[in-house]
Amino acid sequence: MIKNNDPLALKRRTTIGNIIFDAIIYITLAFVVVVTVYPFWNTIAISLNEGLDALKGGIKLFPRQFTWRNYQNLFKTDRIVHAGLISVTRTVLQTVLSVFCTTTLAYALSRKEFVLKKPLTTLLVISMYVNAGLIPGYMLIKKLHLLGKYAVYIVPCLVDVFNFILVRTYINGLPDSFVESARIDGANEFRIFVQIIWPLIVPSIAMVSLFTAVNAWNSWFDTYLYCSDKPKLHSLQYVLMSILQASQNQSANAADANSMAVAAASGSSRASVTPISTRSAITVIATLPILVVYPLVQKYFVVGMTIGGVKE
């Protein structure tokens, strides 16, 4: 009989308990990964499958009839290519300008000697909870003469209050010795911000940049409101939304499947273009840039650069 205080028995029970606990954790995480990844993987499989065959359903992990034709048909359309260019330039410009303006404002309102620090911060926070509404916002854009212009994608998004709070909180956590030492050396505020503060808040800048880029890339409603009558300013997400609506209208018509089947029997290329395959291909194209960018900035989320900077 093994005593309760036997260290070997206690160690054995602890080891077995740890193994069971780890197994449960790994199984749970594996299930979460599968549930998270499967929808996107299935979308890729459908986008790489022949359009008419995809209408039959039953595609899970791999395409039954592999083809690149769905992507080729998309890139043959000038509308898709131009819209993608608009989305890329918009995302880059909005991210760069918004991050610079937001971080600059956060630094200014983080200074203790700034007299208007509290009232301006309160005003910005109130704007997060009190919104004028859609119609006043539209009238403001109209009075600023931004309707139907590329600047409507950039100007209203120069400062994001939520990102401002994140950056200001990060700056407030920095030692005041950095700024005081730079002022003693004769540096002005702009130089302090660019050469001292900016390198120290890289993790928060990376996080804010990712949030801004994702919002800019996925945005389509502003195009619908302000630039719907300007095809040259249509973003990729707006075009995607339009194609999704068109595909839903097509799928509602029962005669489409019969017409596609007739086209397939006659060898027409129209058989390779179906709503479900086109929708899947566009979804992959719209999502891929975010999947590529995210791993590049993820490492900055938990990296601090102030350790060892100043010895108190």
Q: How far apart are CA 311 and CA 278, in angstroms?
A: 59
DSSP string of 137-153?
Answer: HHHHHHHTT-TTSGGGG
- Give the least confident one: 44-58, 130-144, 219-233: 44-58
Q: Which residue has the tokens 């403001």?
A: 140
Q: In this prediction, what percent of the chain has a pLDDT beyond 70?
A: 81
Chain center to CA of 259: 38
Q: How far apart are CA 140 and CA 232, in angstroms?
A: 23
**Helix 117-129 and helix 161-172, axial crossing angle in degrees, nearest 10:** 140
Q: How far apart are CA 199 and CA 306, in angstroms?
A: 9
pLDDT digits (tens, 9 = 90+) for 237-278: 888 788 777 766 655 554 455 555 544 444 444 445 677 777
Nearest to 167 by CA among 192, 188, 197: 197
pTM across the whole model: 0.73
Question: Tokens standing for 311?
Answer: 């010895």
Residue 49 pairs in a beta bridge with 66
Q: Where are the alpha helices (DSSP H) in 109-235?
A: 117-129, 134-143, 161-172, 176-184, 189-191, 198-200, 202-218, 221-226
53 vs 115: which has the higher pLDDT: 115
Q: How far apart are CA 28 and CA 212, in angstroms?
A: 32
pLDDT digits (tens, 9 = 90+) for 8-29: 555 555 677 778 888 899 999 9
Q: Are 150 and 233 in contact (CB under 8 A)?
A: yes
Highest mean pLDDT among 45-54, 140-149, 180-189, 261-270: 140-149
Q: How far apart are CA 26 and CA 195, in angstroms?
A: 44
Question: Tell me, what's the pLDDT at 30?
Answer: 92
